[in-house]
A and B are shown apart, each in its own frame.
Chain A
Amino acid sequence: MAKAREGDERSYARSLREYARGVVGGLLFSLPLLYTMEVWWAGFIARPFNLLLYLSVGFLLLFGYNRYAGLHKDASWLEVGFEAVEEMGLGILVAAGILWLLGQIDGTMPVNEIMGKTVVEAVTVAIGVSVGSAQLATGGEGKDEGGMEGDDSPTQGVISQVVLGACGAVLFASNVAPTEEIVLIAIESSPWKILGLALLSLAMAAVILFYSDFTGSDRLRRGDGDGPGTMVLRTAVNYAVALAASAFILWFFGRFDGMSFSVCMAQTVALGVAASLGASAGRLLLQA
């Protein structure tokens, strides 16, 4: 009896610590976003349907992250879903709380403005929460192999690369995406410099993934006895995920409205530098 109670208290303390880590992680990753006025504006400019889509994509990413790198090794699909709901809930509450402290939402505003601002911020906070609760732990607790069992088959390797890469890309790129600077870069840079940015992204991804002894990159290298072919493939997949993520975020923040195709491409590539860093470095760190 006494022993059981002791166990209960331990797990209370443990889950409290998990939540604390989650909230701190959420803030750590999303504070730049919470302090950016373009993001607040996006909250009321965005159409309700776009907000709904953004929230759903956020859910998918959470689900994927928990599935492939989450806190509990032996998670079932149901648990993965439960965790995604918890993280999104915490994300919404934390985002609303911080926005209120920053004076960006209050009782006099119409509901759609409050909801919009909260949802736009909450998705990044929620990803931060899931990364935080899984990764900020000291050894033993949570640091053991994440995800579900039996994740080592080659097909799942690609899926997990895409999912975790997308999480990392969104986490990094959403901090710069809503700013005016991306549009400025796209408009003012010559096409050759945009190409340069694309090559830079690819080079950095390759260096991070394969050459720099980045945390976790040895695990990749060990991977499948990879020759240069696998390396090129992995780098390409990584960059493709980064570009897709950056295009989606730009579209959501209304950066494609009324722009010519070439400016949209230039924006995607300019933001792709951040997204690609996130997809490669982020992936290794998120998975560590």
Chain B
Amino acid sequence: MSKKVEKNPLEWTVFAVSLAVVLATLGYLVYDAATVRDAKPDLRVELGRPEPRSGGFAVPVTVHNRGDETAEGVHVEVTLETPGAEPERAEYNVVFIPRQSKREGWVTFRSDPSRGRLTGRAMGYEKP
């Protein structure tokens, strides 16, 4: 039943490329499956430098997920506490943050954040 495989150079090229792609994919998946841990989503909110925008100030927000599971529907809240004023809150939602990934966004404030203290955190998220 075993016969000599007949291919022209074009077919050999396509086969070689395919084999490389398939082996690389399999290799990566095996490596990934072997090294992945069972860590739940682990979110860290990183705040950037406030920028003046029309009608207020925008603060870039990066949310990192250092866990090994995806977080869905992440609710991010950033609070601005300025001495002698009411704390101002801003929030937004991120649909998904895959494992070992980050997503970027902005929150806006009416008063200048550089005169107060900014804190950000992920309030809640669900398992997809």
Contacts and interface: CB of A to CB of B under 8 A. Distances in A.
Given A49-B33, A76-B2, A119-B29, A41 B14 contact: no
A85 B19 contact: yes
A16 interface: yes
Contacts of A257: 127
Contacts, number: 100
Contacts of A87: 18
A109 B99 CA distance: 11
B90 interface: no
Contacts of B2: 76-78
A115 B25 contact: yes
A195 interface: no
A55 interface: yes
A90 interface: yes
Size bin of chain A's contact surface: 35 or more
A88 B18 contact: yes
Which of B7, B17, B98 has most A Cβ within 10 Å?
A: B98
A8 interface: yes
Size bin of chain B's contact surface: 20 to 34
B19 A76 contact: no
Nearest to B16: A89
Contacts of B96: 41, 44-45
Interface string B1-43: 1110101101100110111111001101110110010000000
Interface of A: 8, 11-12, 15-16, 19, 41, 44-45, 47-49, 51-52, 55, 74, 76-79, 82, 85-90, 92-93, 109-113, 115, 118-119, 122, 254, 257
17 contacts: A15-B11, A41-B96, A41-B128, A44-B70, A45-B98, A48-B36, A55-B29, A82-B5, A85-B18, A88-B18, A89-B19, A110-B98, A110-B100, A112-B99, A113-B98, A115-B28, A119-B29
